[in-house]
Amino acid sequence: MKVCLFGGSFDPPHQGHRAMARAALEKGGRDKVVVIPAARSPLKEKGHGASPEDRLEMARLAFQGIDGAEVSDEEIRRGGISWTVDTLRAWKAASPAGTELSWLLGSDSLPHLPKWKDVHRLFSLCRFLVVPRPGFPKEVLETLEGALEPGEIQALEEGFLDVPPVPVSSTEVRRRLAEGLSLEGLVPPAVEEWIRKRGLYGAGRR
Ligand code: ATP
């Protein structure tokens, strides 16, 4: 079984996230993608815009209809800072022999990777699958020379998925909501409905 874990803030989840899950299943040959909203993301110092409960519910709505995608509340249940190494260790301990674990991330995350907790251990726990993000082509790997082992950089290069970049971010979605602009095409309709119903990110204040 090839299982791909997909951690993130999902604050809110958007079409770029959906495209990533599909890429892992279709291009990355994974049997299953498990979306895991973080309780608290280590690198997001300002915290999150929406509560863990709202982000979890929006993730459930966002990944509906993708066969093979599921959402887990494990990091939110664990609480505190969500370290990827803890999540991967827990999966490794709980998975039957023969399970191949991957971790899905966008190429914009690569420059931060050397700062992730126990980064070298991560490479022995999982295979990274990387989805290109606008402005972060494969060449960003060159900036990691010296910070990661050559074999680790090669593993990241091999994990790049050949899919077109999708120019959407949660930051842009939050900004558009605060400015009263349309979210058409940026988030799944069920996510937009949840945001508006709950008045998240300043929606409906203008
Ligand atoms: P924010 O704008 O708040 O920083 P985000 O859009 O980057 O949020 P996250 O939930 O923080 O969304 O991202 C989770 C993971 O998905 C990260 O690895 C990030 O690099 C990746 N990701 C998010 N959006 C895209 C996208 N459009 N293309 C490729 N990767 C993406």
Res. 206: pLDDT tops 70: no
- CA 144 to CA 107: how far, in whole Å? 12
State the distance from the centre of ligand 1 to the C-alpha of 166, rounded, in angstroms. 10
Which amino acid residue places its CA nearest to atom 6 of ligand 1? 169
Rounded mean pLDDT, 68-79: 98
**CB of 125 closer than 6 angstroms to any ligand 1 atom:** no
State the distance from the centre of ligand 1 to the C-alpha of 137, rounded, in angstroms. 15
**Residue 110: which region, alpha, beta or left (left: phi > 0; alpha: psi -120 to 50)?**
alpha
Q: Which of the listed CATH numbers 3.40.50.620, 3.30.70.240, 3.30.420.300, 3.90.330.10 matches domain 2-167?
A: 3.40.50.620
pLDDT tens-digit readout, 92-114: 999 999 999 999 999 999 999 99
Res. 131: pLDDT tops 60: yes
Q: Which atom of ligand 1 has the smallest separation from the CA of 44?
A: 4
Which amino acid residue places its CA nearest to atom 18 of ligand 1? 105
Dihedral (Cα; 170, 172, 175, 176), 10-degree rounding: -110
pLDDT tens-digit readout, 3-48: 999 999 999 999 999 999 999 999 999 999 999 999 998 877 677 7
Please report which confidence band the pLDDT of residue 180 belongs to, taking 50, 70 and 90 as the band edges.
very high
Q: Which atom of ligand 1 has the smallest separation from the CA of 166?
A: 27
Longest dimension (CA), the chain: 54
Mean predicted lDDT score pLDDT of the chain: 96
- CA 8 to CA 15: how far, in whole Å? 14
Task: Copy the structure tokens of residue 131.
Answer: 């989805």
Please report which confidence band the pLDDT of residue 205 belongs to, taking 50, 70 and 90 as the band edges.
low
In this structure, the number of other CB atoms found within 10 A of the CB of residue 178 comes to: 14
Q: Where are the domains of the chain?
A: 2-167
**CB of 149 closer than 6 angstroms to any ligand 1 atom:** no
CB-based contacts of 78, cutoff 8 Å, min separation 6: 39, 86
**For the whole prediction, is pTM greater than 0.85?**
yes
